[in-house]
Amino acid sequence: MNETTSKTMTFKVQSFRRIPNPHLKTADGERSAEMYVAVCDVKDIPDDIPMETNPREQKMTTGVAKKIKASLLDTAEADFFLLNRGILLSAKSVAYNNYSSEVTIVFENPDVHGNVDGGHTYRTILENRKELDYGKQFVKMEILTGIEGIFQSLAAARNTSVQVQDKSIAELENRFDILKNTLSNEPYMHSGRVFFKENDTGDIDVTDLLALLNLFNIDRYSGMASFPIASYSFKKKCIDYYIEDHKKYGSSQENPYVKMHDIMPDIFRLYDAIEVNIGRYYMLKNPGGRYGATKGVQKPKDGQEFRSKFFQNRMDYASPNGFIYPILGAFRALVESQDSRYCWKADPFDILEKVGPDLVESTVSMSRSLGNNPQSVGKEANIWKTLYMTVAFSIMS
């Protein structure tokens, strides 16, 4: 063993499991590859895992890298280890101590032992975990041993070009021109912050735009017959809906997203207004309460500053999407179609000021009834219905 290159790391993990290999031994009697899976607090990951084995250069300015960072820092959702693919390591050996809950990994040969995949995730964690407290975010680590003989094949298989996603194909087919043209004067669009395909620069995924627009598609969601919960719980579906409508209607006036032309910029301004004012609305209903103490709500720490997603306005709190999406979706009650154009029945910003406190109160109360779980709120049909009715009734009085 070369002492100058061998490296041993011991660190705490939350869980550890060996995945049995159905091929116990190779034909010549040598031990075959072994697989281990650990879940680790991002604060406990060593900061000097060998990176020479990773064939990709970690470009941290891409939209994907920024999305990893946003997911990591979103402690309101706190499901980073589920949403992220994790980190793949190749090692000489792995041992686990049941008493201390620590794993020890030995990297012997820098040519074949180290980080194989997940370099962007690893770098993002190292650069941003100082902003997190223990117990807030975890990451999955897959560790393989005995793969020295197939290392090149493994690295090639795990690091194939990013699969061309539906949104990337849609961008190549110019299907997003409807959004680009309608929102061309909006600061987040003309500044290049929106990215439309994988590995583009920017910090706003077009998927997020489509999820918010889906909230107002009255062709798909009529009245209270159904609710656009997919915007929160299954954003990929919103891409499918958009492409489906574009293939069917093109850029004709029959396309719901073309019909949204007049109200589309307002949708993102309304999102911003909810983000910025949600804490104030809460306090109007609870003068002695503390919105920042609500489960899932984040308050800025020393030197930290929260800015709204689209217009970069300063915020006193960062609220979970499980609160914001149902509240924003309620304003579909103000949309009607006239001459194949969506329009507002009333000024949505006036209505927001009128019923915002009630909307926030109902949403937070629902979260408490669901075990203080904002994610459950975003998927609960009853709160979507309650909020929708609140907005609908507001223009009847």
Residues 172 and 131 in one domain: no
**Residue after which a domain boundary falls, among 158, 179, 209:** 158
Residues 151 and 180 in one domain: no
pLDDT band at 57 (very low <50, low <70, confident <90, very high): low
- Report, in this order, helix, strand and coil percent for the chain, each rounded to 5: 45, 15, 40
Q: Is 67 a residue whose pLDDT tops 50?
A: yes
Residue 1 lies inside a defined structural domain of this protein: no
pLDDT band at 156 (very low <50, low <70, confident <90, very high): low
Residues 177 and 151 in one domain: no
Q: How far is CA 148 from CA 91, 116, 144, 217, 377, in A?
A: 9, 12, 10, 53, 47
User: Is 197 or 290 the better-scoring residue by pLDDT?
Assistant: 290
Residues 205 and 90 in one domain: no
The total number of structural domains that make up the chain: 2
Q: State how far the Cα of 49 lies from the Cα of 114, in Å rounded to an integer.
A: 6
Residues 273 and 136 in one domain: no
Residues 204 and 118 in one domain: no
Phi, psi dihedrals of residue 261, rounded to the nearest 5°: -45, -45
What pLDDT digit, counting tens, does each position of 218-244 carry?
999 999 999 999 999 888 889 999 999
What pLDDT digit, counting tens, does each position of 360-382 carry?
999 999 999 999 989 889 999 99
**Residue after which a domain boundary falls, among 158, 187, 221:** 158
Residues 213 and 114 in one domain: no
- Which is it for the CA torsion 226, 230, 231, 233, positive or negative? positive
pLDDT band at 161 (very low <50, low <70, confident <90, very high): very low
Residues 336 and 194 in one domain: yes
Q: State how far the Cα of 378 lies from the Cα of 363, in Å rounded to an integer.
A: 9
**Residue after which a domain boundary falls, among 158, 180, 195:** 158
Residues 6 or more apart whose Cβ sits within 8 Å of residue 109:
2, 5, 92, 148
pLDDT band at 162 (very low <50, low <70, confident <90, very high): very low
Q: State how far the Cα of 119 lies from the Cα of 58, in Å rounded to an integer.
A: 6
0.75 cut: is pTM over it? no
What pLDDT digit, counting tens, does each position of 251-304 carry?
999 999 999 999 999 999 999 999 999 999 999 999 989 999 999 999 998 888
- pLDDT score of 20: 82
Residues 186 and 142 in one domain: no
Residues 28 and 116 in one domain: yes
- pLDDT score of 74: 87
Q: State how far the Cα of 241 lies from the Cα of 151, in Å rounded to an integer.
A: 41
Domain span at 116: 7-158
Residues 204 and 138 in one domain: no
